[in-house]
Structure 1
Amino acid sequence: MGVEEKFKQSVKGIHSLLAILLIGFISVLTILFFTVKDLASPTTNTPVISPDYVEVLGNEEDLDKIENGIHVRTGFVEGEGLMLVVQNCTSCHSAKLVTQNRMSKEKWLATIRWMQETQNLWDLGVNEEPILKYLSTYYAPNQIGRRANLENVEWYHLNE
């Protein structure tokens, strides 16, 4: 067998190896795509519980504990629709992203639509209205300034 024949066989072997690797790579990507897609769309209303929370709070029953009107795990204010917000919002991002914002019902709806259009947020269905009501009630724009006006204060003058 000449050098040319050996070279051709080597090239065929390399092509075969590359084809096998490419098929394997595509298969892995396909599996990952469908696995991640399934994880991103909730099939139940059961919240995903991180082992870190269990470790910090002691047990799973403590995860949804309310103390002084605050949901301990998230910091959300206790109110009707709280668990819907916990289940639908904190599966993708921190509760801080919600609590640091203050918006009207219309702005919360616009934010939800933006997340649905650009961030793959699922259709909230019948849960959308209670979620919007909760957010616009407890995380509405704050109309109070830095402090209340001072009233009934006895002022004194400094002498120079």
Structure 2
Amino acid sequence: MQEKENNDGIVFKPIFKVVLLIFTSFIIFGALAIIFYGPRQTQVDITEIDPELLENGVHVRTGLIEADGLQTVITNCTTCHSSKLIIQNRMGEEQWNATIRWMQKTQGLWPLGENQKVIVDYLTKNYPVLEKGRRPPLTDIDWYPLEGK
């Protein structure tokens, strides 16, 4: 290989120039990639700032209704499962107690002691059984005939 000398007397081999060019390219393209595709500052999740934030009568982080016993439910129930599991179930006192007994027997739920009454009272008040039935009949409808083939 031929060696070339620059004005300062430093000797550069052509392979060194190629390596230097590749290294410089990695630095430049890496910096550009970070600038254009790097981490973006996203909108801050308000629950990260205040995990106990209540808004319009609802606990923001869990979606549970604000009422007596809310913190007891959060502490004892959302430790193991999502609050959505609570919200989607609507039961009476007997059914909530049976569900708690089932969780204690099969899912490893600890004895709740006095907290069980607080939890069940909260759940029956805020997530009671919904009365289901037929929808009301349709009224004031502008019917029109369908034309056949």
TM-score by length of 2: 0.60
Give the CA deviation at 1:150. 5.3
Moved over 4 A (4+): none
Matched, 1:111 2:68: no
Q: Unmatched 5+ residue regions in structure 1?
A: 1-54
- 2:23 aligns to what? none
Matched, 1:149 2:136: yes
Matched, 1:133 2:107: no
The structure richer in helix per residue is 1
Identical aligned residues as a percent = 47
Superposition CA RMSD, Å? 2.2
Residue 158 of structure 1 aligns with an amino acid whose one-letter code is Y
Residue 65 of structure 1 aligns with an amino acid whose one-letter code is L
- 1:13 aligns to what? none
Give the CA deviation at 1:58. 3.5
TM-score by length of 1: 0.56
Distance change (3 Å), C-alpha of 1:75 and 1:124: same
Give the CA deviation at 1:136. 1.1
Give the CA deviation at 1:79. 1.0
How many residue pairs end up in the alignment? 102
Query: What does 1:21-32 correspond to in 2, within 5 Å?
Result: none
Distance change (3 Å), C-alpha of 1:155 and 1:90: closer
Matched, 1:101 2:59: no
Residue 105 of structure 2 aligns with an amino acid whose one-letter code is E
CA distance, structure 2, for counterparts of residue 111 and residue 72 of structure 1: 25
Residue 123 of structure 2 aligns with an amino acid whose one-letter code is L
